Amino acid sequence: MARRAVRNLLAENKEAKKILAELGALLGAAASSEESQGRKKIMPITAAKTVRELAVEVPNATRVFEKLGIDYCCGGQRPLEEACASANVSVDDVLRALEQGVDAPAPDTGRDWNAAPLGELVDHIVSKHHTYVKSETPRLQALIAKVVGVHGKNHPELEQVQVAFSELANELAAHMMKEEQILFPYLKQMASGNGCGPSCFGTVRNPIRMMMMEHDGAGEKLREMRQATNNYALPADACFSYGTLFAALAEFEQDLHQHIHLENNILFPRAIALEQ
């Protein structure tokens, strides 16, 4: 009915026809301009979506999740509602925060890693996050030893942090070596379209499953340190090094969350889809 009415109106009214044509051209230009600027189309933001879906679709979502203590890397499969209940935050507040920051650039580079070539994502993970872990772990281990030496007697929880961080550093070193030497070269070869030949692990799902289990272990160590330090709250007698250590540990945690998010939520699902 409505279509017929518009057709009749256009047939009768040349001016209306002209206005509609101009409007169509304007809308078309706006759409192609968005595409050419590489702007990501944001899907509706709802509490029924999983944390992973929101972390991938909404550019600033990982910042919001990080700030509110919502696990978006290892616990990304849970619906937002469930994750909010675990973190003891209101779903409405989270949805509002996601909506408000929807136009903000993505963390790190502003790049939409869900659309970028897979090989570039792998290179980014290694050059940014693996390099960061490798350079920060010895510095942090030395800093922890120094702070434990001075404050360990009055703050026994620092030794717990020292043990947890040392285990985390060892696990991460072995984990990143497996990614850099076996899994990532295979994924890059697979993404190049030149065929990847036989692998030593059968389907790519096998090493991915192993990497994700190791990510869970790393997430557990981060939680352990956060709990031992009461969310990195500085005691009254903390010195400058104590403050530097807690700030650096919180930054290390944030970087590792982002690192695991890129692998668990973007790289690995894309690799599995590519193999299929």
The residues binding Fe ion (CB under 5 A) are 179, 211, 263
Residue of minimal CB distance from Fe ion? 263
Handedness of CA 15, 17, 20, 26 (dihedral sign): negative
Q: Which residues contact 70 (CB under 8 A, 6 or more apart)?
A: 51, 64, 83, 84, 86, 87, 89, 94
Rounded distance between C-alpha atoms, residue 137 and residue 166, angstroms: 9
Phi, psi of 79 (to 5 degrees): -65, 150
- Cβ distance to Fe ion smaller for residue 49 or 175: 175
**In angstroms, what CA-CA distances link 177 with 13, 18, 80, 107?**
71, 64, 33, 25
- Cβ distance to Fe ion smaller for residue 98 or 172: 172
Handedness of CA 132, 135, 141, 147 (dihedral sign): negative
